[in-house]
Amino acid sequence: MNIQADEGYYFGIGAFETIALEHGRRILFERHMERLERTVHFLGLPVRPGGVECKIEEYLKDREADLSRHDALKIVVSEKNTAVAVRRNPYAGCDETNGFRTVYSGIRRNETSPLIFHKTLNYAENLLERRRVQELGYDEAVFLNGKGEITEGTVSNVFFVKGHKLYTPPVSCGMLPGVMREYLCEKYKAEEAVIRPEDVETYDEMFLTNSLMGIMPAESLGDHHFATAETTERLRQTCCPGHFDTLP
């Protein structure tokens, strides 16, 4: 893979998408490409989405024999580069029985920054914070914004359940609008609600989403433990990557 030095390499002015592959099938691919196109347009990159899709097709065709049951397709786009790669889905075989232990991050999301709403190569803050909390024994960190409102995880969107109804922070709180988040909001009529740490104990369940993990129950957030994951488990059975055949 030859990478040319451009503003993506030097300054992070680029976009990326990570897509679940199930037996080589690209899950929610059109939604990912639509988001990539929005980010490319926002960054002003001279990239044609059709050209990106052709490169993906060519890459997957050449490596069809090497694909496993659960893979992750990575697409990175900058001014002079379009890179495609496949790795095994890191959540394949993950034990969801106990759920993720999550903790509040001390870093505040800047809900006034337009970058926060796009999947750009400016991702170091997320990864470094995730590594930090994992070293402390947690699975994921949850950000608050400047107003003290819950926004998102370092690599996930956040949902809460009350009386079997789904709630999630609005995008305006400052977050990347995830593809799985979008799907759940449409299919299950999740309600957007501003949620603060003091509100968390009023909810029955919490779960995290991203395109590779699907739906992951949260065992705890900070000092609060969730007693049940009944609704989350029902959703997970239909929306985790292993059951994605039902998704458009």
CA separation for the pair 165, 149 (Å, rounded): 20
Vertex 88 angle, CA 151 and 130, to 5°: 30
CA separation for the pair 186, 203 (Å, rounded): 21
Q: Are residues 29 and 50 in the same domain?
A: yes
What is the tens place of the pLDDT at every residue in 75-90?
Answer: 999 999 999 999 999 9
CATH number at residue 219: 3.20.10.10
Average pLDDT, the chain: 93
Residue 240's pLDDT band (boundaries 50, 70, 90)?
A: low
Answer yes or no: is pLDDT of 233 > 80: yes
CA separation for the pair 208, 33 (Å, rounded): 22
CA separation for the pair 123, 10 (Å, rounded): 14
Task: Tell me what the mean pLDDT of segment 154-161 comes to.
Answer: 98
Write down the pLDDT at residue 171.
98
Put residue 24 in one of left, alpha, beta given phi > 0 → left and psi -120 to 50 → alpha. left
The percentage of residues in the chain with a pLDDT greater than 90, rounded to a whole number, is: 86
Q: How far is CA 78 from CA 8, 11, 36, in A?
A: 5, 10, 11
Write down the pLDDT at residue 247.
45
pTM, 2 dp: 0.93
The dihedral sign for the CA sequence 128, 134, 140, 146: negative
Tokens of 126: 């997320």
Nearest residue to 117 (alpha-carbon basis) of 152, 81, 83: 152
Whether the CB-CB separation of 22 and 245 falls below 8 Å is answered with yes
Q: Are residues 215 and 166 in the same domain?
A: yes
Residue 243's pLDDT band (boundaries 50, 70, 90)?
A: low
Answer yes or no: is pLDDT of 242 > 80: no
Nearest residue to 208 (alpha-carbon basis) of 155, 248, 137: 155
The residue segments making up the domain with residue 23 are 7-88
Residue 246 lies in a domain: no
Q: Are residues 190 and 218 in the same domain?
A: yes
Which one of 53, 88, 123 terminates a domain? 88
Q: List Cβ neighbours of 135 (8 Å cut-off, separation of 6 or more).
A: none
Answer yes or no: is pLDDT of 246 > 60: no
